[in-house]
């Protein structure tokens, strides 16, 4: 019997839609009924996670808990959350629900440990909130991997690419792509990274693996495929 996937989203809406698209795309299906039931709770009014972490802005936690409870009450079998920075609040969210909640960073670390044992240094493109909390650094340290973050100037470029007037959150991709590739070039060519992680789920909206000379790791892709497996499909497409 197929399980129902719950998506706790809205952070941002495009990343939420992209996750649903990935789940649909990578499910082995010959007809509509081969796909899994999916319930999406997309609340763009959840306060910005980086603003809360860095500048003591309004906490997103109450609405994150509300969204998780909504999905639980809707009858989903497990929850996934297409926002990496929001995983800072994961320990508090799971205290308030009784169903499984797949942790995107843990799943990403498990993927890296299995598929990329020879790579040690990983560049991270992420929001300043994610970097400051060290949630990615701590997770990969458990498997003996090193996270390299951009310098202060390049991190400002990453934030501009995501949050700027012509950034990804505003619906643009061309200019953010150019900016992010400058940062990637520094991480790979100057800092010796042998792979790059899309540590913000909106970054793959502007960058694709074809842009890179090194592996480009998408946690959203990893959690989508893991969700498909968890929901009852042992061999996702591709």
Active site residues per annotation: 83, 200
Cα(203)–Cα(4) distance, integer angstroms:
27
Q: Look at residue 84 and give its three-state secondary structure.
A: coil
- Sort 202 into a burial class: Cβ within 10 Å, 0-12 / 13-18 / 19+: buried
Query: How many C-beta atoms lie closer than 10 Å to residue 69's C-beta?
Result: 15
Is residue 18 classed exposed, middle or buried when 0-12, 13-18 and 19+ CB atoms within 10 A define those classes? buried
Asked whether 9 and 40 are in contact (CB, 8 A), the reply is yes
| Residue 81, CA atoms < 13 Å, CB-side half-sphere | 25
How far apart are the C-alpha atoms of 163 and 49, rounded to whole Å? 12
Tell me which H or E stretch contains 39.
strand 38-42
DSSP string of 139-184, one letter each residue = HHHTTT-EEE---HHHHHHHHHHHHSTTSGGGT--HHHHHHHHHHH
How far apart are alpha carbons 76 and 194 in whole angstroms?
Answer: 38
The tokens for 81 are 């959350």
């Amino acid at each position: 019997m197929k399980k129902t996937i719950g998506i706790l989203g809205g952070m941002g809406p495009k990343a939420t839609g992209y996750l649903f698209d990935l789940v649909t795309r990578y499910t082995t299906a010959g007809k509509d009924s081969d796909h899994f039931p999916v319930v999406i709770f997309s609340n763009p009014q959840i306060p910005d996670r980086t603003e809360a972490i860095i500048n003591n802005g309004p906490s997103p936690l109450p609405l994150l808990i509300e969204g998780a409870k909504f999905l639980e009450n809707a009858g989903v079998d497990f929850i996934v959350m297409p926002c990496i920075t929001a995983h800072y609040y994961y320990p508090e969210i799971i205290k308030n629900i009784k169903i499984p909640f797949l942790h995107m960073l843990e799943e990403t670390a498990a993927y890296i440990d299995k598929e990329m044992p020879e790579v040690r240094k990983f560049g991270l493109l992420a929001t300043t909130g994610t970097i400051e909390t060290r949630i990615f650094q701590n997770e990969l340290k458990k498997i003996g991997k090193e996270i390299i973050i951009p310098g202060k100037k390049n991190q400002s470029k990453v934030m501009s690419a995501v949050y700027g007037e012509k950034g990804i959150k505003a619906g643009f991709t061309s200019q953010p792509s150019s900016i992010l590739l400058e940062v990637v070039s520094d991480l790979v060519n100057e800092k010796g990274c042998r792979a790059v992680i899309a540590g913000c789920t909106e970054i793959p909206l502007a960058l694709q693996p074809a842009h890179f000379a090194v592996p480009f790791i998408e946690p959203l892709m990893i959690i989508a495929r893991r969700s498909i497996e968890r929901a009852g499909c042992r061999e996702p497409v591709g």
